[in-house]
Structure 1
Amino acid sequence: MAAAVELAAYKDVLIILASTAVTVPLLKRLGISPALAFLGIGALVGPSALGGMVGSFPWLSWITVSDTKQIGTFAELGVVFLLFLIGLELSYERLTRMKRLVLGLGTLQVVGTAAVIAFVAWWVGRPLAAALLIGGALALSSTAVVVEHLAEHKRLTTTSGRTTFAVLLMQDLAVIPLLFLIGALSHSQEGSVALGLVMAVGQGVIAILVVVVVGRRVLRPFLRQVSALHEPQVFMAAAILIVVGTGVVTAAFGVSMALGAFVAGLLLAETEYRRAIEATLQPFKGILLGAFFFSVGLSIDVRALFATPMAYALAVTALIALKIVIIVPLVRAFGLSWPVAIRSALLLGPAGEFAFVTMGQATAAGVVSAEAGAFITTMTAISMATVPLLDRLGGWIADRLAVKAAPDPELTVGPPAAAGKRVIVVGYGRVGQLVCEMLARHQVPYVAVDSDPREIAHLRRKGHAVFFGDANSEPFLEQCGIRDAASLVLTLHTGAALDEIAQIARSLNPGLTIIARARDADHAKKLYSLGVTDAVPETIEASLQLSEAVLFDLGVPAGKVIASVHERRDAFRRELQEAGVDEARVRTAVRTSQPDSTASARVLPASRS
């Protein structure tokens, strides 16, 4: 007979799993960041909201958290994994590439903002030690929310995105001195601040030296042996062991586990295992960070928020305004425009997740009072929720401040009038440039067009015969000579734009030969249904080239290889052209017309013929 299961023991874990698998994805569809979703759910089921009503409604105990200590253990591991992955991303190459913004702008932002906020906290009556930690905690912004927001809106590569990301990198580095400072100030409760600082730095240096010395000698050989087994589950276990193990080592010296994990990440950042470890730990990072934000939500005092909403509103507004006033002049001083300065400042204005970490440890160490820690935690959560709104405001302001520059003269040059039939190449990226190079080599007249103004202006100054324009426009295609063109080559990587151009071109010239780049077999089928003459699926073409290369290297005669590759390519083309609207046939196109199975048993020669 199976043993009885204590359901209450699993209740809190099930709440986190349900939040991760069900609630957070639903909220993300509404544009709410997972970090903010976990915070909100934690606050809702915490002791100051639904959890406080269990006495009146006992059934609420099944959807509220009762054991915050158990959740806290998962939350601490989430911070450890976060610091490890931050260290893993901080490669020397990345810091060197962005050193001006990271080390210059980032350092000035952290130090300047922390100093001003610390002074304000001390001025309103907080002890100096508490004021220093409050200043450092609120000077930092939310990497988790801001980076995800920028990535979702495809703005990480914009000037404001790169500037914001550079400052966030420096803020992530600044967490380590903050953790040291907490240790120093906690020791100072029993003596002088200087003695506490010496003790904390001494313990930290010893712990880091142990991790670095052992890590340099052990980590790479250890991972080499694990990788040689080709067992993903063993590699996963090894990666988790490194993260937690280094954290335990530093914790044994009285230093934060997160510091040890961060140093281990730095050690592995320059190794060949960096990407593999990052991909392996990403799922663990997500759920453990979810537990971290969930546990922070549990500590949010919802009752106090509703009791004194104006106090929190004023505090959040003052914090964001103060950081904007500091950050905007700093960004401008580094030669960046007003729109970039304002957008970056508004994104960096709210506090971030490391305020939760700092306040939690500072409160536990007795440096910051529980009342002040709870107020700052709740204020930080509210400020993080304003990131999307502030970014929208920044975009609105930036649009009105943007200077309308005069059009680049290179972009006003239109395609020359056609003197006979020619090929029109739409898209002048790497694929389009190679197509044009081959056409020029065989003396085939062509005209190349693209819609990226900055890139086209740059290439025209370098002598490329490419013209700026939108091929989705019928008048522009007619200007290119679409009605008399020999053929149209579509090399765009954006499927929707490519499909639309194919339709317009076919309507303007029913007899035109259209050759288009396709993502895969399904996309090729769609292009054929739109009237494209020949679609080239990237996946199939790559597999044919790989097959050709391996057959050449195995010594199969070149003539046979080329003939068989052409034969397979023609078979794929026929299958896709005939597929029509039958999706099933498209999916099986790559698997049809298989060669005789006995061919695989043939022994290939070991050298070239």
Structure 2
Amino acid sequence: MILTGLAIGQIGEFAFILSRSGIEYGLLGPDLEQVFLAVSVGTMTVAPFVIASAPRVTSAVRRLPLPGWLKARDAALKVAPANGPKKGHIVIVGFGPMGRHVADAARSTGVPYMAIELNPKTVREERKKGEPIFFGDAIHEGVLSHVGVEGARVVVITIPNADTARHVTAIARKMNPKCAIITRTRYMEDSLSLYTLGADEVICEEFETAAEVLMRVLIKYPVPKTDIDRLVASMRTDRYEMLREASEQVPSLRDIELHLDNAAISIVRVEEGAPIAGKTLAETNLRQKYDVTVLAIRRGAETLAGPDGGTMIEAGDLCILIDAGRGNGEISPLFRRGSDAVSSLSPKNQSEQT
């Protein structure tokens, strides 16, 4: 109700049409007409800013200690099903058209899932159909805990609001470092922040729509399918391609990680001026000193799988690492600019490698 009220609270153009009838019938005097015009122009001016801040205001109000009678109506919807899955399931955040498609696919393949939805009407309707869904705002850790995000294998965030998606992505990653997080976004400019916050894959509507339109246009002409595929692939040569293809490595790597005891897989970017930049893998001494192995290096549009000791590490590289977890120190300073970890790559350590 709060979100809807903020969205439609301004006086619209139709009010001016009604005001003319009021003036004609003497219901709106000259003085009151001027007040009406001032209020109308003022609300129309601030309307874009009010609508933009509406989700945050709504979330803030929901955190207030509201009276019990006000919360009682939807209290039952906030209780997750008692027999819901606890491990290895999918958590679907948002049960709009995209969330429903994910649920349909999971149900047809026998994959367990739980859904969170902020619209109480949708929750009531879907619960009647037997859907494992409950009412709540996923920006709260307690809500995500209700659906067992700590034991989930995949978290799918389908909500269109970019700020909320970033918030939920960060919380889900914090609560479950090993799960795969797939996040939806409308614009490519939001992709980088979602990856930074922990998303494994970001599905960008802007990019996917452009690719689909390109394919549909070319299908109308005698263009071979191989050429169409090639042209669509060429759209992935920009920054979005690098981020998306790098993320494609993560789910399969996380699957491997689940079967390795005391091992962790991570992706680290080599910053400009980092101690490790400009050195070969043999010179870095990562395996001997840190029990860390470089599985692959993502360099622009190229992926170097299974690099050998002579492979040079360059600034901007995305290094996919597997850490044996023997507690031999933190290696992240080696990849950061201005780090004082240069001693870790000293000639003494290099001689030990040889």
If the length of structure 1 is used for normalisation, what is the TM-score?
0.31
**CA separation of 1:379/1:165 partners in 2, compared to 1, >3 Å: closer, same or farther?**
closer
> What residue number does 2:328 align with?
none
AA of the residue aligned to 2:123: I
Q: Distance in 2 between matches of 1:166 and 1:520?
A: 30
Change (3 A) 1:380 1:573: closer
Do residues 377 (structure 1) and 37 (structure 2) align?
no
Which runs of 5 or more residues in structure 1 are unaligned?
A: 1-149, 182-318, 324-350, 352-375, 390-402, 583-591, 594-609
Other-structure match for 2:97:
430
1:552 corresponds to: 219
Output one character per residue of 1:453-485: Cα deviation in whole Å (capped at 9) or x when no partner: 233223333554432122111122122121221
SS in 1 for 2:84: coil
Deviations 1:332-376 (A, max 9, x none): xxxxxxxxxxxxxxxxxxx4xxxxxxxxxxxxxxxxxxxxxxxx5
| SS of equivalent to 2:194 | helix
1:460 aligns with: 127
Aligned counterpart in structure 2 of residue 539 of structure 1, from 193, 206, 216: 206
What CA distance in whole angstroms lies between the structure 1 residues aligned with 2:39 and 2:13? Answer: 21
Q: 116, 124, 145: which one pairs with 1:449?
A: 116
User: Secondary structure, in 3 states, of the residue corresponding to 1:407?
Assistant: helix
**TM superposition shift of 1:382:** 3.7
Residue 242 of structure 2 aligns with which residue?
575
Give the one of 145, 158, 167 matched to 1:500.
167
Pairwise mapping of residues 32-431 of structure 1 onto structure 2 (< 5 A)?
153-155=6-8, 168=15, 171=18, 174=21, 178=24, 351=28, 376-382=29-35, 384-385=37-38, 404=70, 406-408=72-74, 411-415=77-81, 416-431=83-98
- Equivalent residues of 1:516, 1:532 under 8 A apart: yes
**What secondary structure, in the 3-state scheme, does the structure 1 residue paired with 2:100 have?**
helix
Amino acid at match of 1:481: G
**1: distance between equivalents of 2:5 and 2:78?**
33
3-state secondary structure, aligned to 2:219: helix
Between the aligned partners of 2:16 and 2:127, the Cα distance in structure 1 is: 36
Aligned amino acid, residue 460 of structure 1: R
Does the aligned pair in 1 maintain the 2:87–2:148 contact within 8 Å?
Answer: no
Does 2:144 match 1:491?
Answer: no
Residue type of the partner of 1:512?
A: C
Distance 1:448 1:565 in 2: 33
CA contact (8 A) 2:88 2:152 kept: yes
Deviation at 1:529, TM superposition (A): 1.2
Aligned residue number for residue 477 of structure 1? 144
Q: What is the CA–CA distance in structure 1 between the aligned matches of 2:227 and 2:126, rounded to whole Å?
A: 41
Closer, same or farther: CA 463–151 of 1 in aligned 2, 3 Å: closer
Measured in 1, the distance between the counterparts of 2:37 and 2:19 equals 16
- Aligned positions, number: 223
Separation in 1, partners of 2:235, 2:95: 29
2:89 and 2:231 map into 1 onto residues whose CA distance is 32
User: Displacement of 1:166 after TM fit?
Assistant: 11
Q: 1:453 is matched by which residue type in structure 2?
A: P
Q: CA deviation at 1:569?
A: 4.7
Answer whether contact 1:513 1:532 (CA < 8 A) is retained: yes
Distance 2:212 2:39 in 1: 50
- In structure 2, distance between residues paired with 1:565 and 1:493: 25
Paired letter, 2:73: P
Distance in 1 of aligned mates of 2:201 and 2:211: 17
**TM-fit CA distance, 1:428:** 0.9
Does structure 1 conserve the Cα–Cα contact (< 8 Å) formed by 2:191 and 2:202? yes
Contact 1:424 1:485 in 2 (8 A): yes
CA distance in structure 2 between the partners assigned to 1:440 and 1:492 by the alignment: 20
Change (3 A) 1:443 1:506: same
Does the Cα contact within 8 Å between 2:94 and 2:159 map onto a contact in 1? yes
Percent of pairs identical after alignment? Answer: 24
* Structure ID, larger Rg: 1
Task: Check whether the contact 1:408–1:457 (CA below 8 A) recurs between aligned residues.
Answer: no
Q: Quick check: 1:423–1:489 contact (8 Å CA) kept in 2?
A: yes
Indicate if the aligned counterparts of 1:410 and 1:457 stay in contact, CA closer than 8 A: no
Q: Is the 8 A contact 2:84 2:114 kept in 1?
A: no
SS of residue paired to 1:447: strand
Residue type at the aligned position of 1:377: P
> CA distance change for structure 1 residues 418 and 447 in 2, over 3 Å: closer, same or farther?
same
SS at match of 2:8: coil
**Map of 1:511 onto structure 2:** 178
SS of aligned partner of 2:95: coil
Contact 2:91 2:156 in 1 (8 A): yes
CA 1:568 to 1:453, structure 2 compared with 1: closer, same or farther past 3 Å?
Answer: same
Closer, same or farther: CA 386–538 of 1 in aligned 2, 3 Å: closer
Kindly tell me: are residues 470 and 573 of structure 1, through their superposed partners in 2, closer, same or farther at Cα, counting changes over 3 Å?
same
2:187 maps to which residue?
520
Which structure dedicates a bigger proportion of its chain to helix? 1
CA contact (8 A) 2:115 2:147 kept: no
5+ long unaligned stretches in structure 2: 44-68, 247-268, 272-299, 302-354
Contact (CA 8 Å) 1:490, 1:516: kept in 2 or not? yes
- Cα 1:564–1:493 shift into 2, 3 Å: same
Distance of 2:102 and 2:210 partners within structure 1: 20
In 2, Cα distance between equivalents of 1:152 and 1:469? 20
Quick one: distance in 2 between partners of 1:522 and 1:511?
26
Query: Which amino acid letter does the alignment assign opposite residue 171 of structure 1?
Result: L
Q: Which structure dedicates a bigger proportion of its chain to strand?
A: 2
- Partner deviation per Cα, 1:399-442 (whole Å, 9 max, x = no partner): xxxx8474147614414432540111101112222222233333
**Could you say what secondary structure the match of 1:489 adopts?**
strand
Alignment RMSD:
4.2
The answer (yes or no) to whether the contact 2:188–2:240 under 8 Å persists in 1 is: no
- What is the TM-score normalised by the length of structure 2? 0.51
Measured in 1, the distance between the counterparts of 2:135 and 2:4 equals 28
* Secondary structure in 1 matching 2:114: strand
| Residues in 2 aligned to 1:171 and 1:574: alpha-carbon distance in whole angstroms | 53
